[in-house]
Structure 1
């Protein structure tokens, strides 16, 4: 005779942990787990990258506006200060991006393999680890801000302004990390529109608050920091509300933390190391530029803010193409994986060509817009008219990294990115510095040409060996 109150049955998961039955209620229609395994690949790439680019462009446009507003105060210490602070902040953001890439890659692969419940369980557990880790990193950055700024050559009023900015912004790293993770999960389930809305919400808040805090309340760089803090909070709230529609979050289960870290960490840690390479390389460039004064730092800071807006589509490919590759890999469709890589490279070439033409035509307006003069104006002119073409090879590197991270070869992306950030940056920029700040830009271009070409050739080899 059956017991009137039978014990819940236990079943073993593939991650080695038992899970009580019945599982949480799940709406299979909400996640659309096989969105990318059928249909036109180029269309998927354009839609995902296009919506991602709009979101990224909005975020980076606000960063560009920050720099513009600060430049309107006509204080070189402030414009240099925001450049120094950005060099440190980008390291933090790189950690968040790397963790989000790992989360999206593993989740997308599980969805493509028809395992949405496991994807939700591991994603929710890993989010808990992400928040804890970035809380420690953000607090440590705030405490060590002055020391970190000394390392990259900041001094005087510029250093003080940058330190104040980091003291406000750095501890909020868990907010933006959680927001990025939610956006990554939305892309993994194929909801490009809501993923875009998450980033647009934060950008909208910054666009409204920046002029109020910087000009009306006369808070300067501190106002920009407060605006950033508010924007990150909004990104978190909007991302959480958007993701709930897909039933991809649940209360984290402690037994799932270990398998989540083991499985997602295999992709996330190398991806994090990969993404750290770019800002670390930027730190070296800032260090070399600092020797030529505040004008050179201001010119480099302007370039660093023009690039993300101008190449938002190229940067968006990194996060947007990943879910397409991982879903098709999970479904065993190798041919569509290779087709995705080819479509991404074609789109990269087109974007760089259009951007090159526009920046070359309007380089004078760019220089006047940011009030650049002297060495800073020379750097901006050289970049807009000639060296912008080198970002085709940056795009090759980014697309190749996406393939490595989503196809099970994350250490390849780590190797190529750190190769570019060290061997492709330090010796070339050191040699270039002997010819002035312009030589530093030429050195950057030479390094990325070598490593971008090698990375994309290796990516095609990886796909052939799948």
Structure 2
């Protein structure tokens, strides 16, 4: 089947070579996802160097709160991006622009509400998330300030996702990259020069989020193919409902991650206190490992997010050959990338952990053990992430929702509760690889019949075209 020529002025999502297109969309998406991870990781590195393991433990305790914020952001961003991409593929540009404007307003209002609720219930939430008396002062200082940036965080994630669908993935990358660079510059200034401690790290984070949101806002207000317009800012109910439905799988992924973090934090403190390691040390060490897992996961998510507009546009345009080709390339790329990171974690754990500050021999030994065991099965992540994005982008939200919750809700959380009953603190570590490998098998049970269905549709379309 020949592909339309880009020279005819068609959207590149429907005519550019799939391999080149996936590369051009995925690389900025990977960088954007990595940069989003860097906000927390850079904080943790500088806090570890300047304050110590209690400061790192404070960011670990605060992280479920940040994850819940990200859950709302990714639900709106992914859902809006998927819906707008499908509408652009159907040549309904006005509907795509209405989606951008409606979700912009919804994101801003949702951010304000989340910030207010989080600040009101901050102390009981942090206790729920595993905060101990030694950690709580640091956690409260950090989380209270980061919550103030919630509206900008949601708007930034939404506009970053929409920029990719608008055909400008580099802007999405640049908007987030500028904020991350500022965060990296401000962190050591505020922590080591101004001596603001964890408060300085939090101030650096929200300053960077504000800058990123402003850069992306300027593009859509002044230059985007889709534009923010005053007359369209009132949310359209049917558009918001459909976009939220499509984004539910992404929201579920992050929401379940929040629940998982709460269960893990409390389990680490409980079983850590019953072992020679200690609860605070276990919490701090696993917090570092989870940040490293976030980096590896960001590569998979970046490829999945980068492929999503290609899936959605070509599915809406009926170009199923391109959908199939994109899926195969995305799976191969995500798996190869995360496998490389897995190899580094297994062979050079001490080198990685050194970035996060020093610790005594017991802390280092447990952190190395965490890194090697808990991340042993992470090479399976690419397959699950890309498959979830495929179902989301092709208008199959129920399947996407099931797969997005599979690893953490169906497998990991029960394993975190069950395995420590038999193996104590080690049971928490082994829950990770068991959940990773088990979820890959179950995802395959969804993907195989879907690919058979897609192949049948392609064969039928080719047969009609040859008549």
Residue 255 of structure 1 deviates from its aligned partner by: 6.7
Distance of 1:278 and 1:395 partners within structure 2: 17
Distance 1:304 1:211, change over 3 A: same
Matched, 1:412 2:412: no
Is 1:145–2:122 an aligned residue pair?
yes
Aligned to 1:155: 132
Mapped to 2, the partners of 1:460 and 1:449 lie a distance apart of: 17
Q: What is the CA distance between 1:254 and its match in structure 2?
A: 6.5
Alpha carbons 1:33, 1:114 under 8 Å: kept: no
Change in CA separation of 1:348 and 1:372 when aligned onto 2, cut-off 3 Å:
farther
How far is the alpha carbon of 1:107 from its aligned partner?
0.7
Contact 1:303–1:380 (Cα < 8 Å) also in 2 = yes
Residue equivalent to 1:24: none
**Structure 1 residues 260 and 375, CA, compared in 2 at 3 Å: closer, same or farther?**
farther
CA–CA distance in structure 2, aligned partners of residues 375 and 410 of structure 1: 46
CA contact (8 A) 2:335 2:381 kept: no
Q: Cα distance, 1:300 vs. partner?
A: 0.8
Counterpart secondary structure, 2:305: helix
Question: Which residue number corresponds to residue 266 of structure 2?
Answer: 287
1:150 Cα deviation after fit = 1.6
Asked whether the 8 Å contact 2:376–2:433 carries over to 1, the reply is no
- Per the alignment, residue 314 of structure 2 pairs with 328
- How far, CA to CA, are the matches of 2:24 and 2:267 in structure 1? 39
What is the Cα deviation at residue 311 of structure 1?
Answer: 4.3
TM-score, normalising length: structure 1: 0.87
Which one of 51, 74, 85 corresponds to residue 28 of structure 2?
51
Residue equivalent to 1:245: 223
Rounded Cα–Cα distance in structure 2 between residues aligned with 1:389 and 1:343: 24
CA contact (8 A) 1:111 1:327 kept: yes
Map of 2:457 onto structure 1 = none
> Residue 366 of structure 1 corresponds to which residue in structure 2?
352
**Displacement of 1:109 after TM fit?**
0.9
Deviation at 1:262, TM superposition (A): 2.8
What is aligned with 2:378? Answer: 391
The worse-fitting range, judged by mean Cα deviation, of 319-328 and 362-371 is 362-371
Q: How many angstroms apart in 2 are the aligned matches of 1:220 and 1:203?
A: 19
CA gap 1:33/1:303 in 2 versus in 1, 3 angstroms: farther
- Give the structure 1 partner of residue 408 of structure 2: 421
The question of whether the paired residues in 1 share the 8 Å contact of 2:58 and 2:135 is answered with: yes
User: Retained in 2: the 8 A contact 1:67–1:79?
Assistant: yes
Instruction: Give the whole-Å Cα distance in 1 for the aligned partners of 2:231 and 2:365.
Output: 53
Task: Pick closer, same or farther for the CA change 1:376–1:97 going to 2, 3 Å.
Answer: farther
| Gap change, CA 1:68 and 1:49, over 3 Å in 2 | same
Identify the residue that residue 207 of structure 2 maps to in structure 1. 230
Q: Distance in 1 between matches of 2:120 and 2:50?
A: 28
Q: How does 1:29-428 map to 2 (within 5 A)?
A: 34-243=11-220, 244-249=222-227, 250-253=229-232, 257-291=236-270, 292=272, 293-370=279-356, 371-374=358-361, 376-385=363-372, 387-428=374-415
Q: Which runs of 5+ in 2 are unaligned?
A: 1-5, 273-278, 455-467
Alpha carbons of structure 1 residues 86 and 439: separation in structure 2 relative to 1, 3 Å:
same
**Which of 438, 447, 460 is the matching residue for 1:459?**
447
| Secondary structure at the counterpart of residue 425 of structure 1 | helix
Give SS of 2:295's match.
helix
Q: Deviations over 1:39-80 (max 9, x none)?
A: 322222222211222232233234322111111135332121
Cα deviation code 1:333-373 (max 9, x no counterpart): 12221221111110122112211232333212223332244
Corresponding position: 1:448 with 2:436: yes
Q: Which moved more, 1:219-228 or 1:369-378?
A: 369-378
Determine the C-alpha separation between the residues in 2 that align with 1:235 and 1:254: 21
Separation of aligned partners in 2, 1:242 and 1:448: 39
Question: CA RMSD, aligned part only?
Answer: 2.2
The residue number in structure 1 matching 2:461 is none
Contact 2:82 2:393 (C-alpha < 8 Å) held by counterparts: yes
Q: TM-score, normalised by structure 2?
A: 0.87
The 3 A distance-change label for structure 1 pair 246 and 148 is same
Instruction: Determine if contact 1:311/1:355 at 8 Å carries over to the other structure.
Output: no
User: How much has 1:376 moved relative to structure 2?
Assistant: 4.1
* Number of aligned positions between the proteins: 436
Deviations along 1:258-300, one digit per CA (max 9) or x if unpaired, are: 2322332321344322331223222222221122111111111
